[in-house]
Amino acid sequence: MKRIAVYCGSATPADERYMALARRVGDTLARRGIGVVYGGGMRGLMGAVAQAALDAGGEVIGVIPEALARAEIANADCTDLRVVTGMHQRKQAFTDLSDGFLTLPGGVGTMDELWEAVSWAQLGYHAKPVGLLNAFGFFDHLLAFNRHMVASGFIRPSHAGIILAEADLDLLLARMAAHEPHVPIFAMTAAEL
């Protein structure tokens, strides 16, 4: 993987572990020669990932909507800062520019990005790995809900493994690098649906 889209919060939680985690992710990716594609902001976990990657000499591509860039939260230190018209264009750029997706703790926007990456993988708009760093058990309930959707028949068994979740960054990156695409809905027959 040459570039990974990193989805994470723009907030700075009181619990310092989250910021330390974001810095470790940015540093690790840069030291492995993996570029970071992210939301283009300079605050919260987003800013910490980007700054750590930049400090380690890594490539950082920020993709930020015009409205947020005008609010002066765009990170001008990115090696490449792209200002797009809106959120749809932002998420399309994440998909176009990256070889996979890595989700860290975050809020509503982070969940939107994660679920779109999962949905697009399920359909067949991309065949890239979707990683979820479940640090500190942050995503335990989300993963339980995903298993519930599988058990209830709303996610096909062949798509149950789209989300690659690990608590350990190195293990997650290894699983993402070894990712083998599943059969997407677009390639299924009517009988398989």
CB 91 within 8 A of CB 110: no
Q: What is the pTM of this model?
A: 0.95
What are the average pLDDT values for consecutive 10-residue runs of the chain, which has 193 residues?
Answer: 97 97 98 98 97 98 93 91 96 97 97 97 96 98 98 95 98 98 89 80
- Using an 8 Å Cβ cutoff, are 131 and 193 in contact? no
3-class DSSP state for residue 151? helix
The half-sphere exposure of 98 on its side-chain side, counting CA atoms within 13 A, is 32
Strand partners, 185: none
What pLDDT digit, counting tens, does each position of 93-144 carry? 999 999 999 999 999 999 999 999 999 999 999 999 999 999 999 999 999 9
The CATH class that applies to domain 3-187 reads alpha beta
Q: Vertex 51, ends 73 and 67: CA angle to 5°?
A: 20
Calculate the CA 112 to chain-centre distance: 10
